[in-house]
Structure 1
Amino acid sequence: MQDQHPRAIAPDALPETITSYLKAHHARDTATAVTAFTGDAIVTDDGRTYRGAAEIERWLNRSAGEFTYTIELTGAQQTDATHYIATHHLEGNFPGGTVDLRYRFTLRDNLVAHLVIEP
């Protein structure tokens, strides 16, 4: 039985799918970011859930232009072979101005099947 508690890993130890998604998302490159997801992926962000490539693409486009902010990867964790957490510090013109967010990834077939973004 595998340990279900996340363990810290170096950010550069995150799987390529995750790092590619994060780079594209931060660069507001929606076309590249959406290719990191399975066709039936689910994203939950800010209390809303987006299902499938079309809804995720709309979410990426909306979130790319909603606020201006800086984002820094401050930590990474791995629970098992398919579950990872990337922690980011954001500063910008959104309500509150600063926040630390955990991006919880579930991978399937080397793609993101589920992503939950939460403080």
Structure 2
Amino acid sequence: MYDSQPRTITPDALPRVITRYLDAHRAHDTASAVAAFTRDATVVDDGNSYEGAAAIERWLDRAATEFTYTIRLTGAQQADPSHYVATHHLEGDFPGGTVDLHYRFALRDDLIERLVIEP
């Protein structure tokens, strides 16, 4: 996905669209979260792909209600001008109880074109 090795950046150096998405997702504001994506965006989470705004909206609605958890941004990286990684620590009532997840973003036209969430 990336042409170069990601370099560490401060979380506040993440592009505004990523921060807007993360804040909306954390607040369970599905409409604002979906607005951060391109119309033809893809999200890959837990081995499943969600393509297009309607599928991403359904994924966000399900993710907001499936488990109760806290999420904390613990790091950020930039691979190139359009590829970023935001690392989060989650704790909650999901299987395993804690996990560190990497949110790998690809941007296009100041929107999220692709998001891959993986350990």
TM-score w.r.t. the length of structure 1 is 0.97
Q: In the TM superposition, what are the counterparts of 1:7-86 in structure 2 within 5 Å?
A: 7-86=7-86
Give the Cα separation in 2 of the matches to 1:106 and 1:45: 15
Post-superposition shift, 1:15? Answer: 0.2
**Residue ranges of structure 2 left out of the alignment (5+ in a row):** none
Give the match for residue 118 of structure 2.
Answer: 118
Q: Give CA deviations for 1:52-71 in whole Å, capped at 9, x if unaligned.
A: 00000000000000000000
Give the Cα separation in 2 of the matches to 1:63 and 1:15: 23
Give the Cα separation in 1 of the matches to 2:100 and 2:43: 18
SS state of the match for residue 5, structure 1? coil
> What amino acid maps onto 1:72 in structure 2?
R
Give the Cα separation in 1 of the matches to 2:104 and 2:56: 16
Give the match for residue 101 of structure 1.
Answer: 101
Post-superposition shift, 1:47? Answer: 0.4
Give the Cα separation in 1 of the matches to 2:118 and 2:79: 17
Give the Cα separation in 1 of the matches to 2:46 and 2:28: 18
Give the Cα separation in 2 of the matches to 1:12 and 1:72: 14
- 4+ aligned runs moved over 4 Å, structure 1: none
> What amino acid maps onto 1:89 in structure 2?
H
Post-superposition shift, 1:26? Answer: 0.5
CA RMSD, aligned part only? 1.1
Post-superposition shift, 1:105? Answer: 0.0
**Residue ranges of structure 1 left out of the alignment (5+ in a row):** none
TM-score w.r.t. the length of structure 2 is 0.97
> What amino acid maps onto 1:14 in structure 2?
L
Aligned length: 118
Give the Cα separation in 2 of the matches to 1:100 and 1:26: 15
